[in-house]
Structure 1
Amino acid sequence: MDPPCWPQNESREGAKKIRTRRMSAESLMGQELITFSWLSARIED
């Protein structure tokens, strides 16, 4: 008996979603860090 293949597809889709979400979160954090460093540099001027 072959197991149904939909759970495998489901997990693959879930991993893809998690990966894209993590990438977007990392880029968001990078943006915040850039903005923060820019603000601190402006304050020092």
Structure 2
Amino acid sequence: MQALVAAGEGVTTLPGLALRAPRRPDVHTTEITGFTRRLYAVT
């Protein structure tokens, strides 16, 4: 994902835990305020 974003070919949303991993210096992150994640489990 980071390579696509860095190349100007995409935008992505990632959970905070994924942002703790080392990332490319040419990728900028911005927090999306007011965004609530919903999880659903179907069995």
TM-score (norm 1): 0.18
Of Structure 1 and Structure 2, the greater helix share is in: 1
Q: Normalising by structure 2, what TM-score? A: 0.19
